[in-house]
């Protein structure tokens, strides 16, 4: 049975599995499938046919990748996958691998194709139902199919790619030489819906409401009557997690908010008022401002500042958790991209070479002392960031929380170039507030990812 971290707290298995061959778009494919309200997961290309049979997905998508299928050592999937009877969609490299493993041939293209290209539909059924002839598709390939395997037919072509979409209808095997998951492919979502619903027969059961119900049940089953500690930062993830846990276990949850003195203007007061006073979620406010700023005395290197702040945070967290506890569980805001990154796929997306599996310590608890002996509860670990925001809204979090811009853990300390002082922090807080207010006044706050001020160590004129 494969390692399915993202479903470890739930009996839900993915309806669609994406096998990752090192594409920069593998996560995006999973997100696009989830936008159709169908649950999907990314797994490594080494996943075996038997492991897939045990999961029993309704469909499999083979991602793109930077390799060439005819090169020695190129990543390949278990050839027994083709005999499972499960519909498969190969995307770019995934299509080329399908063609080669099933008896066709792939060669270096006489002319590589990158960018937008109109798709000329030759067979508007199954995969290409309701995909308009001439739809724009995003091409990114240097190889092309020279000969199709027996049983395959052409579905569509572009001006430079004769076999842009192919299919073996009888075995429900499909391939596209473009990326339907990217926004540039105007008919891409229609194509993915065709595969997910009409070809694979999936049901639209991956909804925000369904996730909340499952997560609440999972947390209650895991935690029982034990106590849970959450390090609350006020960001989207920890705020959504606080609301979800409070819905599940009520006063068994304690949120620890450590004010290290590097937050934006008015944020500490707002967060305590919001969670504790307005929604009656137990928040323990820890004022550690002087402790943190004293650690940065004379420090100018940004990476050294980051490490010192992280180390001190761990020390404060350890001291306060022992004072407030004991606690059995630590709630962590791990998201699905963290799970994917931690697991690794064995392929470098830039070079296509096999690499050692990378293990990433999640920033929320990286380096916490082992003697704290927490068990982890991570109910958001199946979600992408946009899904977390949807959950937050459904749980009643206001837009000022779920729509807020990302903010680094070390806060304003790393937006001050040079030494950090109380005076500089006050200047930057005021400047940052002005920037954010102007962006909001212009109606742009929800249109851009980040907007913030940085304090330079030099005087300048504009």
Measure the CA–CA gap between 281 and 268, rounded to whole angstroms: 15
SS3 call for 157: strand
Q: Residue 183: how many CB atoms within 10 A of its CB?
A: 11
* Catalytic residue (choose from 92, 200, 202, 255): 92
DSSP annotation of 259: E
Q: Nearest CA to 243 among 135, 120, 380?
A: 380
296 alpha carbon, distance to own chain's centre: 33
129 alpha carbon, distance to own chain's centre: 30
**Residue for token digits 């407030």?**
324
Which residues is 254 bridged to in the sheet? 229
* Catalytic residue (choose from 27, 113, 163, 181): 181
Evaluate whether 255 touches 282 at the Cβ level (below 8 Å): yes
CA distances from 1 to 4, 47, 50, 76, 145 (A): 9, 9, 8, 19, 34
Sheet holding 16-20, edge to edge: 40-44, 16-20, 59-62, 88-91, 173-176, 165-168, 153-157, 105-121, 135-147
Catalytic site includes residue 179: yes
20 alpha carbon, distance to own chain's centre: 14
**Contacts with 366 (C-beta within 8 Å, 6 or more apart), sequence order:** 310
Catalytic site includes residue 181: yes
* Catalytic residue (choose from 27, 77, 157, 179): 179
Catalytic site includes residue 92: yes
Element (H, E) at 245: helix 236-249
Q: What residues are annotated to the active site?
A: 92, 179, 181
């Amino acid at each position: 049975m494969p390692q399915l971290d993202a479903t470890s707290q739930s009996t839900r298995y993915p309806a669609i599995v994406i096998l990752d061959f090192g594409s920069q778009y593998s996560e995006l494919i999973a997100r696009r499938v989830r936008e159709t309200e169908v649950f999907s997961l990314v797994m490594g290309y080494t996943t075996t046919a038997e492991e897939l049979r045990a999961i029993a997905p309704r469909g499999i998508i083979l991602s793109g990748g930077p390799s060439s299928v005819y090169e020695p050592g190129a990543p390949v999937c278990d050839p027994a996958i083709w005999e499972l009877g499960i519909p498969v969609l190969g995307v770019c490299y995934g299509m080329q691998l399908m063609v080669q493993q099933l008896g066709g041939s792939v060669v270096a293209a006489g002319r590589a194709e990158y960018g937008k290209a109109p798709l000329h539909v030759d067979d508007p059924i199954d995969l290409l139902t309701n995909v308009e002839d001439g739809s724009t598709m995003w091409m990114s390939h240097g190889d092309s199919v020279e000969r199709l395997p027996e049983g395959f037919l052409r579905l569509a072509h572009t001006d430079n790619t004769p076999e842009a979409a192919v299919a073996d209808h009888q075995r429900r095997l499909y391939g596209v030489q473009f990326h339907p998951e990217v926004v540039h492919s105007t008919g891409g979502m229609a194509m993915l819906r065709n595969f997910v619903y009409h070809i694979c027969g999936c049901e639209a059961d991956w909804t925000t409401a369904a996730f909340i119900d499952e997560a609440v049940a999972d947390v209650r089953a895991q935690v029982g009557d034990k106590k849970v500690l959450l390090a609350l930062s006020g960001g989207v993830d920890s705020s959504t997690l606080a609301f979800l846990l409070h819905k599940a276990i009520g006063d068994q949850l304690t949120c620890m908010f450590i004010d290290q003195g590097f937050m934006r203007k008015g944020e500490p007061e707002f967060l305590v008022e919001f969670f504790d006073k307005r929604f009656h979620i137990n928040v323990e406010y820890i004022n550690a401002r002087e402790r943190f700023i004293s650690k940065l005395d004379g420090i100018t290197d940004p990476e050294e500042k980051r490490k010192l702040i992280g180390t001190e945070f761990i020390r404060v967290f350890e001291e306060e958790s022992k004072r407030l506890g004991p606690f059995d569980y630590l709630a962590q805001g791990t998201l699905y991209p963290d799970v994917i990154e931690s697991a690794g796929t064995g392929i470098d997306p830039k070079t296509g070479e096999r690499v050692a599996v990378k293990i990433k310590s999640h920033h929320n608890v990286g380096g916490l002392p082992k003697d704290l002996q927490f068990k982890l509860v991570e109910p958001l670990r199946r979600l992408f960031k946009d899904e977390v925001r949807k959950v937050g809204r459904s749980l009643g979090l206001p837009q000022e929380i779920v729509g807020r811009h990302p903010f680094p853990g070390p806060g304003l300390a790393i937006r001050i170039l040079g030494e950090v002082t109380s005076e500089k922090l006050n200047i930057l807080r005021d400047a940052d507030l002005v920037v954010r207010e102007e962006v909001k006044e212009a109606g742009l706050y929800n249109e851009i990812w980040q907007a913030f001020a940085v304090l330079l160590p030099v005087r300048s004129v504009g």
